[in-house]
Amino acid sequence: MGLVSTTLLAFSMSTDAFAASLCKGTCMQQPRFSTAIKTGLVFGVIEMISPLIGWLLGMGASQLVRDWDHWVIFTLLLLLGGRMVLAGLKPQAEDDDRCCGTSSSSTSWWLIVATAIATSLDAMAVGIGLAFMDVNIWLTALAIGLATTIMSTTGVMIGRKVGAVVGQRAEIVGGLILIGVGCITLYHHLMVQP
């Protein structure tokens, strides 16, 4: 994977966290920048660890499926991207409880950590797919973590102004990018094969 693919992957992985951060920003009473940074770091660190865990799991299986690994990558990214697009297409009313919860404790750090873990599961699945590719997993995970930190911090700060509507659109764009990366990976592999 080159720099462009890694950057696109990193930012597409951060769209779930961006959407969740926008929702959190709408629930917080005038969030401070320090709160936004802390929230961004929680999301970023967890999102950085997840692909590493997935990569370790995938490395164990990669030797077993080396001949059809491109199909594994394509299928994982297609499913994850499709899930993100569908989540972004849900009506806003269905997402309100998921974003804000129903009590004033919704801004607690435990809820933010739980949300960060939930939004990082797709990064773990992508990590599994990355085990079948020639990538520097450490740089890729760092890029995902950095992009997520930036996107989540930004999401909290603008959440009060634009709410989850932009978050839904960001999730759709992120899902389409993942599908595109999967298609490009499959295309390149099939074109290289004799």
CA–CA gap between residue 29 and residue 115 (Å, rounded): 19
27-30, long-range: CB < 8 A, 24+ apart: 27/99, 27/100, 27/101, 27/106, 27/107, 27/159, 28/107, 28/156, 28/159, 28/160, 30/160
Q: What's the whole-model pTM score? A: 0.68
Q: What is the pLDDT along the chain (194 residues), one digit of tens a residue?
A: 688 888 888 888 888 788 778 777 776 666 788 888 999 999 999 999 999 999 998 887 766 666 666 777 788 778 877 887 887 787 755 444 445 544 444 446 777 788 788 778 778 888 888 887 878 999 999 999 999 999 999 988 887 676 545 656 766 776 787 687 778 778 877 886 55
Tokens 């960001």, located at residue: 170
Task: Say what the pLDDT of residue 120 is.
Answer: 82
Q: Into how many domains does the chain fold?
A: 1
* Residue 44 CA: distances (Å) to CA of 97, 124, 140: 23, 13, 13
CA–CA gap between residue 71 and residue 189 (Å, rounded): 9
Task: Say what the pLDDT of residue 79 is.
Answer: 81
**Domain membership of residue 7 as a residue range:** 3-192
- Residues 6 or more apart in contact with residue 27 via CB below 8 angstroms: 99, 100, 101, 106, 107, 159
